[in-house]
Chains A and B, each alone.
Chain A
């Protein structure tokens, strides 16, 4: 790695000096966010939910254990860039197949290192995600670029990250007859892996209509995670409205927010979102606390759910709604990431609950709608 000087400038005028890493670019713009995970940088960088964003890692040393094919969470990298304090020159781990820096270059993703990421995080914590720009350009040019960057508000990011064509993930158990349709709003790979433990997973693009989906006669529908504001994906809401009442439904993250909107609940933008692998969430019915992986800026407003759905999970840090169950329907969703990658596995049981729900849905007999 040769050192290339560079700077990061936020829309509020804050300037950070550092060195450029990854792919070369004079100016990279995006919405600057932070993530506090201690391990799992590769999974974060390859998570499509970061589309349009520049990810700041609060953990100072990044790249230590390299990267490998197995830890990709999607087919590529959708974030615009990364900000780190220290990029490893040499990685060390038996799973490593290459360096993070090389991976960034290969995918054309620039980054900036040497940054006082704590100062940056303290700013973002107060203001929320903010447009910013980094690169080898002058500070004035970077400032202008940061000002011009629209951020992710009002942008339909889902269309940018969803797949063009559907595909199928075989069930882990070749004898399984269960079939799940997963709507890809920017789905992490490990979700499909988890779902495939319970059946064949047919992954479909975000814009697939309810009729198309129902025609597949699946045992359950999965609503994936994805980037941005749920209000921008109104087609997703319409599809879900068409699915509700017909089949077992499970949503994660953006899928949870879309389910909420589909039943008429509202979504709100959080002051600075949840981005980390250490958030405590209480399962309201069991009372138990799970440590969860989180990455979202919007949340379902629990007050707007009454009479339509019941809150099942709550974030113990700030009381944000972390899960809901639609009243009278076989449909539930969570805001956090039970598939982990990165993060704790405490919430894995939710996939099992979905599997149970699919059984109910099957045994309850077909004619819940078109089945």
Chain B
């Protein structure tokens, strides 16, 4: 059946900001869907609050709403656009939830309203409700986990008699999973169950059969409306059940199931999607398999594209989201051609002749207080994928892709960390799933601990363990060899097991370059194979490759003009989708300009690793060895290193300098090297906060003796404020220096050395922080892309701070000074392309904090706010175009004004209730949203709503302020009162407000305080827990006395009460509330904002020649 002609316009709901569990895989799927549906001639309307995405580029939809993702706002968009259909299955859980909220209010999916395509409300409810799902599965004869609920110990014993031990006990209505436990014996069961009954406010526990340690599998299924079903990919988890699949190392294809077992699983997955009733599109079905019996149990099903479907798409070359979008508008699988073979239809099941390994990346080092133990709730912030012909090869490639200082499975300097542990200690550690487990297992096998013992401890399937032990056995062989005795066959065997040149260099204590030279002279070079969905059964011209060491290379590089773009690797806090956006834009811009583009990246979630994005895609680790190999085979005229964040920038000095596009590696270093940077600022007469560099505590103390406390301490060459802190005294300084040295978490990212010293600067209290993105071309013209004023004061990491464009409070003369400084710095560094400069404004002084001649996190935000595609313009400039030429070409347009855009950071604290949510100099946000409106207040209101931190229009505001913040707090209290909100405050704050005739409604006790009657007084934590507070303003009191406030902030985070931790944010919030227009927000498309050409071109966005 051809596509539907009864619908003409389709609303796609995006997934909003990047959060843990919902990352750029939904930009990948959404971007594909937008593209496809427009190709099919539909009017595409997109709602997504995340400005850093490719999909929210105005080119990708007919109407792009960068607006908060709440059902009310989406309903306003529906009213305005009157779409014929809503596609809710491509925007993750967010998209699905909003669709369900709209459906429950009869706003979609009912007669007379937009139709739901992809999955209907009943199907979504069947898959999402645990109990309905279980009954549905049992109804079609599939096995599910045995479970039951109990309200008394008697009931509990009956249930556990039925399901057997071990059993998991979960108390009902307990946030954060507290009280959950596994009972292996009857005694344990008695204890955990009775504790659980006590802990649960409704005295209810769920008792469930334990599948801890079972094997875990996922199947990606697609179905069309004619009921044709195919499996796209089977995934096997290396980490068994008990670790969330998003936190597990996973492998495709499935390795340890017989065909009989696999077909049983396949039949179950097909029965599942049919029963749930997903009409068209992709779904993910998860299974647990008991290793000793082979019993298969359905765990859950996601009736939408997911993180796993993005992984499956990259793993097989079958674009699930693209096909899902086509199925949603009426095509059947057999009507859609397979993208890759062109000759065969999409109604087939991909087969692959390689092994894919995915490894998550976590950010525990940024979240002190977390245990680092992996469990059933996802905690990772990103992932890498690697492709090799075998599991050992792909595992080692994936481990070096992580960029955490590991060169592979051990055989590197970092393995020393485990040297002090006995085998038993190491086995005990490996029994607990953590981020380090894979390396612990590698070390155990290397030491010769038996596979059976490691299996006993970890439940990792012996097949995987045996494959890993091949790596350590080969290592022993290699250790007996030297550079000179290595034979061609020896090299080949080592490389086929995934050993990197750097590992071999470590093993033999020689330079990596010498290893490379010896290997190359032995004739052992990587070959590049093709991802083709069919294991070479059919001819394919897919431009999607991976390296391996085989006989035949399939890449035939062309003679065209070529540019290599180095991507940004795994998402992590501080380096995420913004940089992928820049790399993708670079690829688009260069393709438009007639270049062939070659993308190198290892992040399976991204648009950059869609084989459609560039002329050729190399799915490879971003290491010196792997990147030089791609350069050797492609012979590009330039390599772009400055758009993917710190990852490619670090490689700039390791590739031939004449290939580096844009600003020279020397200029990049001049901006990074403290001494050289000081000289530049002195020569340019641009003030800096006083400070210096230190490699040990003595040097550090010499600096603080000179400039005094507080100081800002930060390592050089890292992104995201890693280990950055504000230090108030000498003891604190000593602790900070210690943490930065050695094998601390930072050691993994390069450590501390004379080349990489610590920067110590005077901390500028109460300064306004400003960010500037600019582009300079080779004629010297500088384009100021945007000047952004931060809402939070300096001291809060720029990535965690809200910011506004244009600057709402900076005097125009200050903006002019900032622009002049930026132009002077760009000129001095001879920048060709982007530069980001950060300033701190104190009174009438503008201090420069740092300059980075590369793309910044704010580039996509500025582009969405002004309509100027900075990344595209910068890319062309790097390759020699001038701004004037790009204006003529139409690539560079005039920026638009007349509105205010606010970017707000989205924090992961609700996943980590043990972490203090106070903002500081270390970045911890995972994503961002944008609010755009006519005024700052309204834009801020939207941004907070979009960030999940809605400003209260009713209820009580709780204030607890540090002394210096009290005057501003007074203003906040008065404005809140005027808006009709109640006020509660801690004693000190209340007394201060009362002194200025602003009494509060309720004074609360300190958290640990006992009232006059001997009973504990009502605390802020109690009020928050009871739902009596709608907004918390709590500012930390310097280095001391944080504990009380910390508990208040944690309570707000746990109970999802909006909270701000700086007085500047509180002031912005009251401004937002006072400008708030009422219940219905005004929504407008980016296309409308960007077409406002009649407004005066802002002084700050004008360009100036230098």
Residues of A within 8 A of B (CB): 16, 34, 36-40, 42-43, 58-61, 64-65, 68, 70-71, 85-86, 88-95, 116-119, 121-122, 125, 275-280, 282, 287-289, 291, 316-318, 340-345
A118 to B353 alpha-carbon distance, docked (Å):
7
The distance from the CB of B388 to the nearest CB of chain A, in whole angstroms, is 9
| Distance A345 CA – B351 CA, assembled complex (angstroms) | 17
User: In the complex the two chains form, is B349's CB within 8 Å of A61's CB?
Assistant: no
Contact present for A16 and B348 (CB under 8 Å): no
Q: Please tell me which one of the listed residues A39, A85, A317 contacts residue B258 in the complex, with CB atoms under 8 A apart.
A: A39
Instruction: Report whether B463 and A91 are in contact in the complex, using a CB–CB cutoff of 8 Å.
Output: yes
- Residues in A with CB closer than 8 Å to B466 are 88-90, 92
B353 touching A60 by the CB < 8 A rule?
A: yes
Contacts of A36 in B (CB 8 A): 351, 353, 534-535, 537
CA distance A43 to B261 in the complex (A): 13
Contact partner of B537 among A43, A116, A276, CB < 8 A?
A276
Is B257 positioned at the interface, with any CB of A under 8 Å from its CB?
Answer: yes
Q: Is B884 close to A, CB under 8 A?
A: no
Which B residues contact A (CB, under 8 angstroms)? 226-228, 230-231, 234, 253-263, 266-267, 291-294, 332-334, 343-345, 347-355, 389-391, 451, 461-463, 466, 470, 529, 534-539, 550-552, 554
Contact call A288/B550, Cβ cutoff below 8 A:
no
Closest to A288 in B: B228
Kindly list the 3 A-B residue pairs having the minimum CB-CB distance in the complex, ordered from nearest.
A40-B259, A58-B535, A342-B259
Bound CA–CA A338/B57 (angstroms)? 48
Sample of 26 A–B contacts (CB below 8 Å): A39-B254, A58-B351, A60-B354, A64-B255, A65-B257, A70-B260, A89-B466, A92-B466, A93-B257, A116-B551, A118-B550, A276-B537, A278-B349, A280-B333, A280-B347, A280-B348, A282-B334, A289-B332, A289-B347, A291-B231, A291-B348, A316-B334, A316-B344, A317-B538, A344-B349, A345-B267
Give Cα A75 to B390, complex, Å: 32
User: CB-nearest residue of chain A relative to B473?
Assistant: A89
Bound CA–CA A287/B227 (angstroms): 10
Chain B residues near A64 (CB-CB < 8 A): 255-256, 463
B217 to A: closest C-beta gap in Å: 12
**Among candidates A85, A90, A280, A344, residue contacting B263 with C-beta atoms closer than 8 Å:** A344
Q: In the complex, which residues of chain A have a beta carbon less than 8 angstroms from the beta carbon of B534?
A: 36, 278
- CB distance B550 to A116 under 8 Å? yes
**Contact A280 to B462, CB < 8 A, known contacts A59-B353, A95-B258, A121-B353:** no
The residue of chain A having its C-beta at the shortest distance from the C-beta of B392 within the complex is A86
**A43 CB, nearest partner CB in chain B, Å:** 6
Give the CA-CA distance A258 to B537 in the complex, in Å. 26
Q: A58 near B353 (CB under 8 angstroms)?
A: yes
Which A residues lie within 8 Å of B291 (CB)?
A: 94
A43 touches B259 (CB 8 A): yes
Given A65-B256, A93-B258, A60 and B538 contact (CB-CB distance below 8 Å) = no
Give Cα A307 to B869, complex, Å: 65
Classify the secondary structure of A's interface with B.
loop
Q: Is the interface of B mostly helix, strand, loop or mixed?
A: loop
Are B349 and A291 neighbours in the complex by a CB distance under 8 Å?
Answer: yes
**B-side contacts of A95, CB under 8 Å:** 258, 260-261, 294
Let me know if A85 and B390 touch, CB within 8 A: yes
Among B258, B332, B529, residue most surrounded by chain A Cβ atoms (within 10 Å): B258
Q: Report the separation of the CA atoms of residues A290 and B253 in the bound assembly, to the nearest whole angstrom.
A: 21
Residue among A39, A65, A122, A279 making CB contact with B348, cutoff 8 Å: A279
Most buried by B among A65, A122, A282: A65
Contact A119-B552, Cβ < 8 Å, known A94-B292, A289-B334, A291-B348: yes
A273 CA to B334 CA, complexed, in Å: 21
Cβ of B451 and Cβ of A90 under 8 Å apart?
yes
| A240 CA to B763 CA, complexed, in Å | 94
Q: How far is the CA of A174 from the CA of B259 in the complex (A)?
A: 29
Contact A85 B389 (CB under 8 A): yes
When A287-B226, A288-B226 are in contact, do A317 and B354 touch as well, CB less than 8 Å? no
Residues on the B chain within 8 Å of A43, using CB:
259
Closest beta carbon of chain A to B1017's beta carbon, Å:
60
**Contact between A92 and B462, CB atoms less than 8 A apart:** yes
Q: Closest residue of chain A to B348, judged by CB?
A: A280
The answer, among B230, B294, B463, B537, for a CB contact under 8 Å with A291, is B230
5 A-B pairs besides A280-B347, A289-B228 with CB distance below 8 A are A37-B259, A59-B535, A90-B451, A116-B550, A125-B536
Q: Out of A34, A38, A289, which one reaches B254, CB within 8 Å?
A: A38
Q: Which residue of A lies closest to B391 (CB)?
A: A61
Q: Which residues of A contact B260 (CB under 8 A)?
A: 70-71, 95, 341
Q: Is the CB of A278 within 8 A of B351?
A: yes
Considering the complex, give the chain A residue whose CB is closest to the CB of B552.
Answer: A119
Contact yes or no, B536 A61, CB < 8 A? no
Contact indicator B349/A37 (Cβ below 8 Å): no
Task: Name A117's contact: one of B293, B333, B348, B353 (CB within 8 Å).
Answer: B353
Cα(A277)–Cα(B534), bound, Å? 11
Q: Are A92 and B344 in contact (CB under 8 A)?
A: no
Chain A residues with CB under 8 A of B391: 61
Known contacts A36-B534, A39-B257, A86-B390: does B345 contact A122 (CB below 8 Å)? no
Nearest B-chain residue to A274, judged by Cβ: B537
A316 to B261 alpha-carbon distance, docked (Å): 27
Chain A residue at minimum C-beta to C-beta distance from B344: A317
- Name the residue on A nearest B295 (C-beta): A94
Q: How far is it, in angstroms, between the C-alpha of A92 and the C-alpha of B463 when the chains are bound? A: 6
CB neighbours (8 Å) of B227 from chain A are: 288
In angstroms, how far is the closest chain B Cβ from the Cβ of A280?
4
Given known pairs A86-B390, A125-B538, the reply for A341 and B348 (CB within 8 Å) is no
Across the interface, which residues of B come within 8 angstroms of A118, CB to CB? 353, 389, 529, 535-536, 550, 552
Complex: chain A residue closest to B263, CB-CB: A345
Nearest CB of B to A349, in Å: 13
Most buried by A among B259, B348, B390: B259
Check B462 against A121 for contact (C-beta < 8 Å). no
CA distance A354 to B3 in the complex (A): 36
Residues from chain A with a CB closer than 8 A to the CB of B539 are 125
Measured between beta carbons, the chain A residues less than 8 angstroms from B333 are: 280, 289
Bound-complex Cα distance A347 to B768 (A): 69
Residues of A within 8 A of B343 (CB): 317-318
B253 touches A59 (CB 8 A): yes
Residue in A36, A38, A341, A342 whose Cβ sees the most chain B Cβ within 10 Å: A38
Report yes or no: B259 in contact with A119, Cβ–Cβ below 8 A: no
Q: In the complex, which residue of chain A has the Cβ closest to the Cβ of B343?
A: A317
- Given the known interface contacts A65-B256, A86-B390, A90-B466, the answer about A317 and B267 at a Cβ–Cβ threshold of 8 Å is no
CB distance from B334 to the nearest CB of A (A): 5
Q: Is the CB of A65 within 8 A of B462?
A: no
A64 to B255, CA, bound (A): 7
Which residues of B are found within 8 Å of A70, using beta-carbon distances? 260
Rounded to whole Å, the gap between the CB of A352 and the closest CB of chain B is 16
Task: Name the residue on B nearest A348 (C-beta).
Answer: B267
Identify the interface centre among B293, B343, B345: most chain A CB within 10 Å of its CB. Answer: B345
Q: How far does the alpha carbon of A265 sit from the alpha carbon of B688 in the complex, in Å?
A: 89
Q: For A40, what are the chain B residues with a Cβ–Cβ distance below 8 Å?
A: 258-259, 262
A200 to B1045, CA, bound (A): 80
Q: Whose C-beta in chain B lies nearest to the C-beta of A14? A: B551
Specify which of B259, B332, B334, B355 is in contact with A60 (CB 8 Å cutoff).
B355
Please name all residues of chain A whose beta carbon is closer than 8 Å to the beta carbon of B536 when the two chains form the complex.
Answer: 58, 118, 121-122, 125
Which residues of B are found within 8 Å of A282, using beta-carbon distances? Answer: 334
CA of A134 to CA of B981 in the docked complex: distance in angstroms?
85
A58 partner residues in chain B, CB cutoff 8 A: 351, 353, 535-537
**Chain B residue contacts of A276, Cβ below 8 A:** 351, 535, 537
